Structure 1
Amino acid sequence: MIIKVFSHIGIFFLYILSLLPLPVLHFFARLLYYPLYYLIGYRKVVVRENLLKSFPEKDIKEIICIEKTFYKYLMDIVFEIIKLPTITKKELGQRVTFNNINIIEAYFSKGESVLACTGHYGNWELCMLALGEAASATEYVIYKPLNNEIFECWFHKVRTRFGNVFVAMRQTLRMVVATKDTPTMFCFASDQTPVKHEVQYVLQFLNQRTAVLLGLEKIALQTNRPVFYFDVKRVKRGYYEVDILPLCLNPKETQEHEITDLLFEFLAKTIKQEPAFWLWSHRRWKYS
């Protein structure tokens, strides 16, 4: 009961905060960066270890510089996500730009479906919300539900404001089958860590042996839908640009694990260009 009360109070204050202009929220983000990084040190050990192992060629000064930029970015996306409940379609369209979206629209116009993949880079929540408005077909986002049912229900409403449908990871195949007769786009953030006993494939990613999910590749092979990589760039604070790049247009012609390998090659390239904007606080390499 107490948890429910505090959850509802927290949601109320988050909504009030969301009414503020994003520049004001960014100001709060920068203020909170200092105690988060210098006093609390939220997951600082994890972030430092991830960066050192991923970029052994960089000296400690470079690593710390990336680390500090990451924490500033982390606070920015927290407050950008807080803005999602009240952000307008107009502002969303100004803040997220999709390049080459005509490539996937060509499939939708023929009544065909596609698969999309990306990683936890830039503000993935803001970009996914914007994609629901930008694409003509329904966008199905594969995700892992939150443990808190009240926050899950609230956040689900926020994420689906502009037509997106969020599908729990274990319901993916069932939803693919249910929507097979309409043009759709199923979206995967495939850089999450699989459950240890379910690990089926390990590859080399950012200089480390990495256990990865195979859901995207399995769906691609079963449906032969073309796969596109969404390459996110942080243009400036609060603004993002997404390049839609063909990753694999004929999945059934690929070798085993080829699609998964390609995805992580694309993602590694994205991260290496601007390392600070990936989710380094995630315990990505708990095991290999």
Structure 2
Amino acid sequence: MRKKSIAALLYITSLLPFWLLYRLSDLLYYLLFYVMRYRKEVVFENLENAFPEKSAAERKTIAKKFYRFLPDLVVEAVKMRSMSKKEVEKRIELLNPEEVYQYFDQGKGVIGVTAHYGNWELGIYRLSLMTNFPRLIIYKPLNNNDFNEVYNALRCRFGATMVPMKQILRHIVQLRNQPHISMFVADQTPTYQDSDYYMDFLKQETLVYTGTERIARLTKNPIVYCHIGRKKKRGHYYCQFTSLVTDPDAYAPHEITEIHNRFTEAMINKEPAYWLWSHRRWKRKRRS
């Protein structure tokens, strides 16, 4: 019953027009930043560690811009429940889909990599509409099963298949002889059981996932980065694809992992406000 209530509330709220949802977002910004002080210690600590060369005032400007953007993500995620295909295509522009199509034309699968940057949730919808070949979205299950089921159903509206991280190998092996795309949100925090590889990321020693590299070496599929950037007009984005690896066998161990994380890092350094700074990304310290 709880799951049905969540789904019903989500759908009813999604019927509100964008202009009203953005007024709610404006209110939510003040609540999160000034009243609730939502994860402010985490955000400011992350920014201080990532940008020690910036002044406190500069970091505060980034933080306030992030807190203004975060509520937009929330209301846009709600709106996704009733968005039409036409609206999705209007809201997020594919700048160069041929970067992915070239591999499909060669009969290859594509390993897509993105990050918690821009509106990555809306990116799932746009990815689902760009091809009829299988589209796998690799995800880390939430602790709350009700929310997990509701949001997975939301993400699958336009044909994507949600695949838990621990099941990805089986699914990709089944698709190895046909074009498909599997999308990894690769900047999440792994458990100690999932990875033991650390690298310098945003000036901090960071435990990173190596699963994208492992899958690429196993399947020989190219890795294409999907950068979701924000346009000047509120609620509008673009997706730019960049081929990072075309021959996984040509790279040394962990080099592929370094490559796609360095790409994410450069993207964040260029426009830092649109990354998920409220995430406790550096909670896994190296164990002695």
Distance in 1 (CA, whole Å) between partners of 2:284 and 2:156 is: 33
Shift of 1:110: 2.9
- Structure 1 CA distance for aligned equivalents of residues 78 and 252 of structure 2: 42
Secondary structure of the residue that 2:157 maps to in structure 1?
coil
* 1:149 CA displacement: 2.4
Match of 1:254 in 2: 251
1:278 paired residue among 272, 275, 283: 275
- Compute the displacement of 1:181 (Å): 2.3
**Residues 77 and 209 of structure 1: is their aligned pair in 2 closer, same or farther, counting only changes over 3 Å?**
same
Write out per-residue CA displacement over residues 23-64 of structure 1, whole angstroms, 9 at most, x where no aligned residue: 221111111110111010111100000000000011011111
Equivalent residue for 2:99, pick from 93, 96, 103: 103
Could you tell me which residue of structure 1 aligns to residue 24 of structure 2? 28
Query: Is the 8 Å Cα contact of residues 26 and 71 (structure 2) preserved in structure 1?
Result: yes
User: 3-state DSSP class of the match of 1:256?
Assistant: coil
For the pair 1:188 / 2:184, whether they are aligned, the reply is: yes
The aligned counterpart of 2:110 is 114
How far apart, in 1, do the equivalents of 2:176 and 2:128 lie? 19
2:43 aligns with: 47
How is 1:235-246 mapped onto 2 (pairs within 5 angstroms)? 235-236=231-232, 237-246=234-243
Deviation string 1:150-194 (CA, Å, 9 cap, x unpaired) is 222221111011111110000010111112222110111110111
- The answer to whether the 8 Å contact 2:6/2:150 transfers is no
Query: Is 1:264 aligned with 2:257?
Result: no
TM score, norm. by length of structure 2 = 0.95
Structure 2 letter corresponding to 1:283: R
Q: Any conservation in 1 of the 2:228–2:239 contact (CA below 8 Å)? A: yes
**Cα distance in 2 between the residues matched to 1:153 and 1:261:** 33
Count of equivalent residues:
284
How far, CA to CA, are the matches of 1:164 and 1:177 in structure 2? 17
Amino acid at match of 2:253: E
SS in 2 for 1:194: coil
TM-score (ref. length: structure 1)? 0.95
CA contact (8 A) 1:105 1:136 kept: no
Partner of residue 205 from structure 1, selected from 171, 178, 201: 201
List runs of 5+ in structure 1 lacking aligned partners: none
Residue 92, structure 1, aligned to residue 88, structure 2: yes
Separation of aligned partners in 1, 2:6 and 2:156: 20
Is the 2:191–2:284 contact (alpha carbons within 8 Å) kept by the matching residues of 1? Answer: no
Q: CA deviation at 1:278?
A: 0.2
Instruction: Give the AA of the match of 1:80.
Output: E
Q: Which amino acid aligns with 1:252?
A: D
Residues 260 and 71 of structure 1: is their aligned pair in 2 closer, same or farther, counting only changes over 3 Å? same
State the AA in 2 paired with 1:31.
L
User: 1:285 & 1:173 partners in 2: Cα distance?
Assistant: 27
Quote the Cα distance in structure 2 between the aligned partners of 1:128 and 1:48.
29
SS at 1:196's partner residue?
coil
Deviation sequence 1:203-249 (CA, Å, 0-9, x none) = 00100000000000000011110111112210132111111001011
1:37 is the counterpart of 2:30: no
Distance 1:135 1:59 in 2: 45
Tell me how far apart the structure 2 counterparts of residues 181 and 22 of structure 1 sit (CA, whole Å): 42
1:9 CA drift (Å): 2.8
Q: Percent identity?
A: 41
